[in-house]
């Protein structure tokens, strides 16, 4: 997999491994990120891993794009991509009524019944690829191909926190009330914010996420426990 290097302003370099989301590309991103952490190039300030690329920020007074690229190319020689093995996290989700306003549309788009869409989602092999966009937004890979649908033409406003949303091969549990163009297929009572400043979010990159179906009554009980706790 041949990386591409692109200067960003005068203080960063973007290293891209693929134009499409894949485990291979993401593993390469993580491998390079770890290599940089173990041997930080002169002037490099921060690295920001994403799905298929890595942003490397540096102090332009101390170094430049060419020097950073040269160092990274050296680090990439013989670098072996290794998948991060995280822990398994269970996330409850209720697929009922108003919590799943797009479930019918996803079923129609895929030619499946609503129950089949739910079962496919529950059977997905989900892993945390990255955080981004908003606090606690963990982007998960693993949506089964049978229920992969594109984003909506326009976003919907006021989507509640805890919504379980999908777009293409990705899934996400929202943490804030925000607009989204992804399909909303359920809602989770599982807290993503931990309240622990040393580990503020439930997931780490590489963690496996297993969804567990709950009914409306159980959802309400879990939400009450969260508030009382």
Contact 64, 7 (CB under 8 A): no
CATH number, domain 88-228? 2.40.100.10
All CATH 3.30.1360.40 domain ranges of the chain, comma separated, are: 4-76
% of residues, the chain, pLDDT over 70: 97
Q: Which helix (H) or strand (E) holds 92?
A: strand 88-93
pLDDT tens, residue by residue, 126-171: 999 888 888 889 999 999 999 999 999 999 999 999 999 999 999 9
Beta bridge partners of 124: none
Whether 5 has a pLDDT exceeding 90, the answer reads yes
Which CATH number is correct for 4-76, 3.40.50.2300, 3.40.190.10, 3.30.450.80, 3.30.1360.40? 3.30.1360.40
Contact 182, 152 (CB under 8 A): yes
All CATH 2.40.100.10 domain ranges of the chain, comma separated, are: 88-228
Cα distances from 142 to residues 23, 43, 176, 211, 214, in angstroms, run: 10, 37, 23, 12, 20
Q: What is the pTM for the complete model shown? A: 0.82
pLDDT tens, residue by residue, 26-63: 889 989 998 999 999 999 999 988 889 999 999 999 99
| Span of 13-27, 57-71, 73-87, 209-223 with lowest mean pLDDT | 73-87
pLDDT tens, residue by residue, 96-126: 989 999 999 999 999 999 999 999 999 999 9
pLDDT on residue 39: 93
pLDDT on residue 125: 93
């Amino acid at each position: 997999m041949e990386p591409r290097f692109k200067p960003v302003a005068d203080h960063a370099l973007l290293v891209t491994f693929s134009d499409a989301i894949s485990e291979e590309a993401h593993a390469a991103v993580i491998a390079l990120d770890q290599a940089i952490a173990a041997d930080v190039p002169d002037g490099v300030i921060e690295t920001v891993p994403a799905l298929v690329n890595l942003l490397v920020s540096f102090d332009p007074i101390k170094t430049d794009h060419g020097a950073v690229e040269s160092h990274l190319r050296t680090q990439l020689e013989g670098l072996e991509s290794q998948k991060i093995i995280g822990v398994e996290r269970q996330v409850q989700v209720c697929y009922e009524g108003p919590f799943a306003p797009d479930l019918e549309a996803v079923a129609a788009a895929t030619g499946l019944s609503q129950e089949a869409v739910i079962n496919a989602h529950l059977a997905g092999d989900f892993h945390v690829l990255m955080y981004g966009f908003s606090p606690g937004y963990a982007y998960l890979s693993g949506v089964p191909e049978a229920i992969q649908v594109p984003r909506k033409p326009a976003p919907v406003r006021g989507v509640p926190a805890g919504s379980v949303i999908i777009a293409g091969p990705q899934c996400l549990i929202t943490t804030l009330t925000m607009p989204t163009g992804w399909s909303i297929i359920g809602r989770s009572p599982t807290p993503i914010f931990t309240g622990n400043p040393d580990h503020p979010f439930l997931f780490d990159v590489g963690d496996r996420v297993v969804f567990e179906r709950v009914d409306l009554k159980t959802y309400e009980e879990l939400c009450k426990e969260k508030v009382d706790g």
